[in-house]
Amino acid sequence: MDNQVMPREQLGVCAEGNLHAVYLMFNANEGVEQSLRASLASVAQYLYDLTDQYADSAFNGFVAVGANYWDSLFGQGRPSQLKPFPAMHEGNREAPALEYDLFVHLRCDRLDILHLVANEVNQMLDELVELVDEERGFRFMDNRDLTGFVDGTENPRGRHRQDVALVGDEDPAFRGGAYVHVQKFAHNLSKWHRLPVKKQEDIIGRTKVDNIEYESADKPLTSHIKRVNLKDEQGNSMEILRQSMPYGSVKEQGLMFISVCRTPSHFEKMLHSMVHGDGEGNHDHLMHFTRALTGSSFFAPSLDYLLQGQD
Ligand code: HEM
């Protein structure tokens, strides 16, 4: 890929992990598209600039546009693979769709800065949108999910994150953008904690305390990593970049699962493998302990796309 002409990506898409996150889901008011295009460009530029200003606290963010709202906002020209969330269910395993028009993803190692920025973003979009959901993500222990297992170990590293997450020459008008899927998973932690640790480890496919991957032959077909570690027809790993974090309160808590990728198909195939399984009755047993409350599909365009899109 020729980096010289690569549009500037929104810096939150591939950013390394943080201590805190704020997730804002908006729906747009009727007939505001022209003003909203301009305001979204301003928000994206503002987040980009803050990344330098608050570099010490590793601030980053991005804005993404919902699959069902894209055509209203941008009219002509649509990312070639953008489609609604692939809702699925089998037995009592549900992956429902709940779409939003806009997603603002903010992360930082200081919660006070995030709080200020979230309010500012909300103000910048005032009168154009309605804030319909808001969650705060946090780092739990040493990057663990609330199940107690380290999450993110096998994520792409370094510059490979860009290769996995950002659209390239396959869709020139949308280079530097990313397909984004979000699922808010509420865990049933009392059920989970009743399981002996060995059973929990069999469900994940890694050890709990030291986070060691099971030998291939020892991984149950129903373990999470067995179900999501997929290869394409050429034998290449299908990768996604996960930007998930734990979220919630005592009342409701779990994982805000976020996938960013240059194609939506990797996420879809993984989710299919979790919910429907391998066709031989082996689905992901993690699904017995958590419930997806939402499922939303977005595209996070490059910063330059958003800046050009304002009239
Ligand atoms: C790996 C937790 C949902 C895709 C993992 C790992 C944990 C975990 C603990 C092992 C460590 C690591 O490599 O990160 C969870 C939890 C989920 C969830 C608690 C929801 C409640 C999903 C979903 C997908 C997914 C919905 C995709 C559709 C992956 C992938 C890996 C992974 C690709 C790396 C597998 C490998 O190559 O070893 N997850 N996950 N996860 N998860 Fe999830």
Question: What pLDDT is recorded for position 4?
Answer: 53
DSSP state of 48: H
Residue nearest to atom 2 of ligand 1 (CA): 151
Summarize pLDDT for 25-74 with one digit per residue, the tens.
Answer: 999 999 999 999 999 999 999 999 999 999 999 999 999 999 999 999 99
CB 184 less than 6 A from any atom of ligand 1: no
Cβ 128 vs Cβ 39: under 8 Å: yes
152-157 contact pairs (CB < 8 A, 24+): 152/17, 152/242, 152/244, 153/206, 153/211, 154/225, 154/229, 155/241, 155/242, 156/239, 156/241
Please pick, among 101, 151, 284, 304, the residue that the annotation labels catalytic.
151
Cβ 180 vs Cβ 65: under 8 Å: no
For every residue of 87-100, DSSP letters joined together read -EEETTEEE-----
Question: What pLDDT is recorded for position 140?
Answer: 98
Q: Which amino acid is at 19?
A: L
Q: Where are the domains of the chain?
A: 3-75+83-309
Residue 2 pLDDT exceeds 90: no
Pocket test for ligand 1, best of 144, 146, 154 (most atoms within 8 A of CB): 154
Summarize pLDDT for 96-155 with one digit per residue, the tens.
Answer: 999 999 999 999 999 999 999 999 999 999 999 999 999 999 999 999 999 999 999 999
Summarize pLDDT for 167-222 with one digit per residue, the tens.
Answer: 999 999 999 999 999 999 999 999 999 999 999 999 999 999 999 999 999 999 99
Summarize pLDDT for 270-292 with one digit per residue, the tens.
Answer: 999 999 999 999 999 999 999 99
**Domain at 3-75+83-309, CATH homologous superfamily:** Apc35880; domain 1 (3.30.70.1030)
Q: Give the number of the atom of ligand 1 that is nearest the alpha carbon of residue 205.
A: 10
CB 270 less than 6 A from any atom of ligand 1: yes
Cβ 65 vs Cβ 298: under 8 Å: yes
Summarize pLDDT for 230-263 with one digit per residue, the tens.
Answer: 999 999 999 999 999 999 999 999 999 999 999 9
Active site residue 278: no
Residue nearest to atom 29 of ligand 1 (CA): 228
Question: What pLDDT is recorded for position 311?
Answer: 62
CA-based torsion, 284, 85, 43, 127: positive or negative: negative
For 55, counting Cβ atoms within 10 Å of its Cβ (0-12 exposed, 13-18 middle, 19+ buried), the class is: exposed
